[in-house]
Structure 1
Amino acid sequence: MKFEDYHIAPEIKRSLEKAGFKRPTDIQFKAIPAIMKGEDVLAIAQTGTGKTAAFAIPVIDRLHNQKASSRPEGIKCIVMVPTRELAIQITEVFDKIGQYTKVKAFSVFGGVEQGPQIAQLEKGIDVLISTPGRMFDLVSQGHIKLNKIEVLILDEADHMLDLGFIKDIQDLIKFLPKNRQTLFFSATINEKIKKLAYSLVRNAIRIQVSPNDKVARNITHSVAYIGMDDKRFFLERIVKENPESKILVFVRTKVRAERVFNALERMEIKSLTIHGDKDQADRTEALNQFKQGTVKVMIATDVSARGIDIANVDYVINYDLPEQAENYVHRVGRTGRGTQKGLAVSFCSPEEKPVLEEIQEYLGQPIEVVKISVTDYSETLDFTSDTSSDLNALMKEVESYEAGKKKKKK
């Protein structure tokens, strides 16, 4: 079935055709008809399967038809998400699919002044995409009215629980009309997720895409055993051997992100960092540069793993293995999206081997080991452009970063 065969507005078909969307993905094929019928939906779908369009297409179609029949104005749909980046990117999808309609989408999130957001809300919007904390603040202040909400969407619900948003979600639900459609999307499912989902949906259609495959099939996985202090040299080698590739590097902490950034700078490799200590303007600018390909290497922490939806990421490098096994899935899901191929390479130090075992157990399969000969290993270290292996110099980097944080807070 093609999108042109769906009973959706011609304006939406036009935007889909312009974007090159011809056939629905599995999650779109299963979810769109149910959503268009007004059913509640509980969908479990891994990242990169096209689930944003799965709910954006039918919601835009519904609101577009309402506007044509002169229905009352006001926010009709709310999309709740865990991160600012995800809010921005979902808004972009709504704008892209609804570009030829009169449906207006807008995102609000913390980390920026709320004044401009309030001004835009007062102009009138149809779809609001927001993080729970900022949305709750604006509802409490009376800037957001939820009495006309017809559709509630929770996206990346499992991550919202991980970040402790459960109380904000439950408090917000009290403001919503009981007679509404609820769409619940999550990449993983466990008892906590089920409990939250079934407290919100009614007689929901349950959809599960690729339940036996934790990660997309078009991602090639590998792991290399590398000493913790040698990882930067192997990252340098991958980057320099693949100068045209978009490479997303994941580390465990904000300090590690800045250390890797500084190491690459010494190697004359341009990169960007994105993590919780960056203000929103810097995070947005970094994402835009990475999207456009003006900078090919992005270093991120796990907080950003769910919020980065960028086309043509060739490599995901797990510079540090994630603390939680399921975060491996969210990290590597940044590559191999849709029908594209992707490469996920993990660096595993001796102290990280127990974490690797947990990840492989979670995946239900081993990750292929890249065997590095003694000669190759030595040459990687010998031919580096980074001559600063002095521990004191590295400690100064950390101290400089921490001092910068303190200065910024004053």
Structure 2
Amino acid sequence: MKFSDYSISDIIKGNIQQLGYKKPTDIQYKAIPAILKQEDVLAIAQTGTGKTAAFAIPTIERLLARQGKIGHQGVRCLVMVPTHELAQQVKQSFQELSRGSGLNIFAIHGGLAQDPQIKKLETGVDILVATPGRMFDLVSQGHLNLSRLEILILDEADHMLGLGFIKDIRDLMRHIPKRRQTLFFSATINDEIKKLAYSLVSNAIRIQISPKNPVAKNIAHAVAFVEMDDKRFFLENLIQNNPDMKMLVFVRTKVRAERVKKAMERVELETDTIHSDVEQKQREAVMNRFRSGKLKVLIATDISARGIDIPNVDQVINYDLPDSAEQYVHRVGRTGRGAQKGQAVSFCSSEEKEMLNLIEQNLTEPIERVELSRSDYQMVKQLSEDDSKDWRKLMKEAEAEPPRKRKKK
């Protein structure tokens, strides 16, 4: 089946063609017809499968069908996402797919001043993409009118629950119409997510795309056993030996992200970080540099990088192992997007071996091991530790030293 076979407007079909979409992915093929029929949908599909277009295409068509029949007060469609970056990405997807339609699309999230966002909301918005924190702030202040909402979409719902928004999401139900279409998209499903989902939807069609191996075939992923204090040496080695590769490095916390960045600075390697403590303008600047390829190595936390589509990531490095198998799949899925091939390597310390076992139990096959002999391991450490062998540092130190005075004979 092709996108041209769907009963959608020519404007959307033209935009799809311009974006280079050939035929629907599995999740798009199953979700689009159901959403066009105004069914509630509970969709479970791994990252990188085209979930955004799966709900954006039919949502735009539904809103266009009723365009002009209702006033422009309030919000017609609300899309909730967990992070600032994902909000901007989803907004861009809606804008690209609806170009020329006249639909009004806007995103709100923290890190930016409220007043311009409030002013924009006063004029009415067709599609609002929002992070929970800023959205709930504006609802409680009376600046966000959701009384005419037609469609509610929760994207990356599993991650929003992990951030503790389950109570807020349930409270949101008091502010929106009972008669609405609800679309619930998640990469994973457990009992808590299932309970929330079924409390929001009505007779939902459940769509689950569960490949036998959750890690895409075009991603070669492996693990190397590296002690916690030695990880910086192995990261340095990878960057030095692959200067042209675009690398996304995952760490556990924002404090750790900054420490790894400083460790790379000490050996004159350029990296940058993205996490919740980085100001919004700086985050956008860093992401633009990384997307364009001007920045080759980005160090990120799970929260900041969740769901973001970054093109042409050559290698994902799990500097720290994630807390779950689901997070592992999300991380390595940042590379090998579409038809491209990708690489992923994880550094596993002695204290992380139990987590590695749990991750492998949830995958269909064990992760390939990178065999490091004792001599190879020590060589990687010594190359970094032995500053005397770094001629660039020796030259700098020599230039910085004041000239020695000659002793009089």
Normalised to the residue count of structure 1, the TM-score between the two structures is: 0.90
Distance in 2 of aligned mates of 1:143 and 1:340: 44
For each residue in 1:36-78, what CA deviation from the matched residue of structure 2 results, as whole angstroms up to 9, or x when unmatched? 11111000001111100100111112222322x5432242100
- Does the residue aligned with 1:73 lie in a helix, a strand or coil? coil
For each residue in 1:141-199, what CA deviation from the matched residue of structure 2 results, as whole angstroms up to 9, or x when unmatched? 22111111111001111111111001111111111111111000111111101100100
Distance in 1 of aligned mates of 2:383 and 2:9: 59
1:340 positional shift: 2.3
TM alignment of 1:285-300, pairs within 5 A: 285-300=285-300
Counterpart of 1:235 in structure 2 is: 235
- Does the residue aligned with 2:70 lie in a helix, a strand or coil? coil
Q: 1:206 to 1:386 in 2, by over 3 A?
A: farther
Counterpart of 1:56 in structure 2 is: 56
For each residue in 1:13-55, what CA deviation from the matched residue of structure 2 results, as whole angstroms up to 9, or x when unmatched? 1211111111111111111111111111000001111100100
Moved more, 153-162 or 13-22: 13-22
- Does the residue aligned with 2:206 lie in a helix, a strand or coil? strand
Establish whether residue 172 from structure 1 lines up as the match of residue 147 from structure 2: no
TM alignment of 1:216-227, pairs within 5 A: 216-227=216-227
Moved more, 181-190 or 133-142: 133-142
- Does the residue aligned with 1:383 lie in a helix, a strand or coil? helix
Counterpart of 2:34 in structure 1 is: 34
Distance in 2 of aligned mates of 1:340 and 1:27: 19
Distance in 1 of aligned mates of 2:385 and 2:265: 10
Counterpart of 1:83 in structure 2 is: 83
TM alignment of 1:300-311, pairs within 5 A: 300-311=300-311
1:385 positional shift: 8.0
1:363 positional shift: 1.7
Counterpart of 1:406 in structure 2 is: none
Gap runs ≥5 in structure 2: 389-409
Counterpart of 2:150 in structure 1 is: 150
Paired AA for residue 190 in structure 2: N
1:281 positional shift: 1.8
TM alignment of 1:119-138, pairs within 5 A: 119-138=119-138
Distance in 1 of aligned mates of 2:272 and 2:317: 14
- Does the residue aligned with 2:312 lie in a helix, a strand or coil? coil
Distance in 2 of aligned mates of 1:129 and 1:244: 35
Counterpart of 2:19 in structure 1 is: 19
TM alignment of 1:274-289, pairs within 5 A: 274-289=274-289
1:339 positional shift: 2.6
Establish whether residue 160 from structure 1 lines up as the match of residue 160 from structure 2: yes
Distance in 2 of aligned mates of 1:340 and 1:202: 38
Counterpart of 2:72 in structure 1 is: 73
Counterpart of 1:362 in structure 2 is: 362
Matched-pair contact (CA < 8 Å) for 2:160–2:166: yes
Distance in 1 of aligned mates of 2:99 and 2:26: 24
Q: 1:201 to 1:232 in 2, by over 3 A?
A: same
Moved more, 144-153 or 115-124: 115-124
For each residue in 1:363-382, what CA deviation from the matched residue of structure 2 results, as whole angstroms up to 9, or x when unmatched? 24210001123333233223
Establish whether residue 117 from structure 1 lines up as the match of residue 117 from structure 2: yes
Distance in 1 of aligned mates of 2:205 and 2:245: 40
Moved more, 38-47 or 305-314: 305-314
1:280 positional shift: 1.8
Matched-pair contact (CA < 8 Å) for 1:48–1:336: no
Matched-pair contact (CA < 8 Å) for 1:105–1:126: yes
Q: How many residues align?
A: 387
1:387 positional shift: 4.1
Paired AA for residue 58 in structure 1: P
Distance in 2 of aligned mates of 1:385 and 1:273: 24
Distance in 2 of aligned mates of 1:299 and 1:387: 25
1:132 positional shift: 1.6
Distance in 2 of aligned mates of 1:307 and 1:252: 17
Matched-pair contact (CA < 8 Å) for 2:79–2:155: yes
Distance in 1 of aligned mates of 2:342 and 2:386: 28
Matched-pair contact (CA < 8 Å) for 1:36–1:58: yes
1:284 positional shift: 1.9
Matched-pair contact (CA < 8 Å) for 1:84–1:307: no
Paired AA for residue 268 in structure 1: E
Establish whether residue 256 from structure 1 lines up as the match of residue 256 from structure 2: yes
Percent identity at matched positions?
A: 61
1:298 positional shift: 0.6
Moved more, 140-149 or 304-313: 304-313
Distance in 2 of aligned mates of 1:348 and 1:333: 19
Larger Rg: 2
Matched-pair contact (CA < 8 Å) for 1:248–1:316: yes
Matched-pair contact (CA < 8 Å) for 1:267–1:385: no
- Does the residue aligned with 1:12 lie in a helix, a strand or coil? helix
Matched-pair contact (CA < 8 Å) for 1:182–1:200: yes
Paired AA for residue 248 in structure 1: L
- Does the residue aligned with 2:379 lie in a helix, a strand or coil? helix
Distance in 2 of aligned mates of 1:4 and 1:340: 25
Matched-pair contact (CA < 8 Å) for 1:46–1:216: no
Counterpart of 1:96 in structure 2 is: 96
Matched-pair contact (CA < 8 Å) for 2:156–2:307: no
